[in-house]
Structure 1
């Protein structure tokens, strides 16, 4: 087996279950086994129950003393912020989207599936040492990026109410948001070294483990009767940004700007090259903004990533 086919085989092994869960949700929706509003109900479970448990435990366990953590996080941030800004400007200029649509359009071009695909790939590529960068990226993506995205959605929801009422309403919504509250609570617990009861840890682990499968299954339910080809040019553009431009920026930052451990540097490029994560769908459906486009980008980018991720991993010398 060639060195190129080994990374592709590893990627396929991770991608196939992703499509399998989406297909299972689609078939259940197509056969009307779970009721008309099952996708929204499952989405609500992820947003209000499973994700907060995942965020709380992940933030409570986060170690902040690794010397590669800061340059690694800056690399991931740059690989998201730079293309995000470019995407947002184009969306506002040529598509005329409002704040909520612009933000979801931008997220759909930069948010990576670090948890459900990134961690398994890094584990396959580098063994146990590869897990930590994947976990850090997943916490960063989930708690920070989705937290900021939620803040923007709250502002969008309140933007017609005037300047001062806007910030009052948006701030109140953000202060009550379960994702933000759970992440902040976990960070406080972790930094104060407060021991967590074993039962609470198990509770959070079980619920947190449901996030990926439930989000993908809900996406499959949502797809019933909807087109994934509408807005094909927009979907193609966002897929190119996600799979090609974002990892290229990460490569420049990781290997030519910042100084970090080679494993962390390579991991940052692989994680930036991942397809769009399902949490963007969860956020889009929760606020009923950009749902169809986000779903299409997730499907298309996941399919195309079999080739692009294999090339990236082969270039980085992953056997």
Structure 2
């Protein structure tokens, strides 16, 4: 456990540092979009490219890992909607609640954290689930949110908008470029490789700091009070039910002799145990959902994961 905490505590401490910096106005709110842009368009793509170029293509696009992850995500999405769709939670709010229940913070937090905890070989399964969530989970949830939208935007329009958003995200393209280099056996020229390495090394601390700042900003823009009964159960689904479901489905795949390893299962379970993706609050705000409820789910899952994530890592036998 001590070895696990030596890895996880600094990661969560950086999230807290970003939150406190924004709370104390050391970091102006106007600077947060710039930090977010640096991570999203520069640092994190370089990190994903570096992992992708050093990972066998089958590990990046393992169909069993992808299938297990998406089945689990689908079950979590529809279970969350079924258990939360009641007054005052409308369909749009229930769908975005389902998205934060099924979409962990694998991009900003999961890739660097799991690579630090389990080694660089963990990058393959994590990148695989990142792609699944970006292209499938988010598209399904946004389509469901738009299905009953009184503005006239239907499910098909919502799904297409979500897919266009995923295609405009630089992360899948960085993964694709890394996969191409991996298959072709190419390497970057020395100076370019150095620049990519420097940006990749900056991804982890800046991304974690940015998560904290984004969480504070989301909390500041919340209007009205949200009863704990409307957000704590969803945070519990994210941190408890999601990893349990992934473990059960992946274990069944292993028992059926499908090409999935115990190591990949451990990575997937820990990815599912990560807190909710912080960028979902921005999506909820953009689509007119109850961003206050979504922000509280994300904050509750992030705070609780400080304890639950290391505990689960210890239970699955991680040595750090």
Superposed CA deviations along residues 54-87 of structure 1, whole A, max 9, x for unmatched, are 3444444431346994434433333323212322
Number of corresponding residues: 302
Q: 2:90 aligns with which of 89, 96, 107?
A: 96
Extract unaligned runs of 5+ from structure 1: 1-5
Q: Give RMSD over aligned pairs.
A: 4.2
- Determine the C-alpha separation between the residues in 2 that align with 1:277 and 1:14: 20
Change (3 A) 1:104 1:154: closer
- Find out whether 1:13 has 2:6 as its counterpart: yes
TM-score normalised according to structure 1 size: 0.72
Alignment of 1:156-171 (within 5 A): 166=157, 170=161
Sort the Cα spacing of 1:148 and 1:48 in 2 relative to 1 into closer, same or farther, 3 A: farther
CA deviations 1:283-315 (Å, max 9, x no partner) are: 667878665545433443244335544554454
Query: For 2:40 and 2:10, how far apart are their aligned partners in 1?
Result: 22
Does residue 232 (structure 1) correspond to residue 228 (structure 2)? The answer is yes
Give the direction of change, closer, same or farther, for the CA distance of 1:250–1:148 in structure 2 (3 Å limit).
Answer: closer
The SS at the match of 1:257 is helix
Match in the other structure for 1:83? 76
Deviation at 1:232, TM superposition (A): 2.5
| 1:215 and 1:282 in contact (8 A); partners too | no
What is the aligned counterpart of 1:255 among 222, 226, 251?
A: 251
Structure of higher RCO (CA pairs closer than 8 Å, 6+ residues apart): 1
Matches of 1:38 and 1:287, distance apart in 2: 23
Distance 1:13 1:279 in 2: 27
Indicate the residue corresponding to 2:183 in structure 1.
Answer: 191
Q: Distance in 1 between matches of 2:84 and 2:285?
A: 20
* 1:106 paired residue among 84, 98, 106: 98
Compute the TM-score of the two structures, normalised by the length of structure 2: 0.72
Counterpart position of 2:296: 296
Secondary structure of the residue aligned to 1:109 is helix
| 3-state SS of 2:101 partner | coil
Matched, 1:74 2:62: no
Match of 2:276 in 1: 276
State the distance in 1 between where 2:196 and 2:142 align. Answer: 26
Give the Å deviation of 1:250: 1.9
- Displacement of 1:135: 0.6
2:196 match: 204
Unaligned runs of 5+ in 2: none
Report if aligned partners of 1:42, 1:218 keep a CA contact under 8 Å in 2.
Answer: yes
Question: In structure 2, what is the Cα distance between the partners aligned to 1:312 and 1:16?
Answer: 14
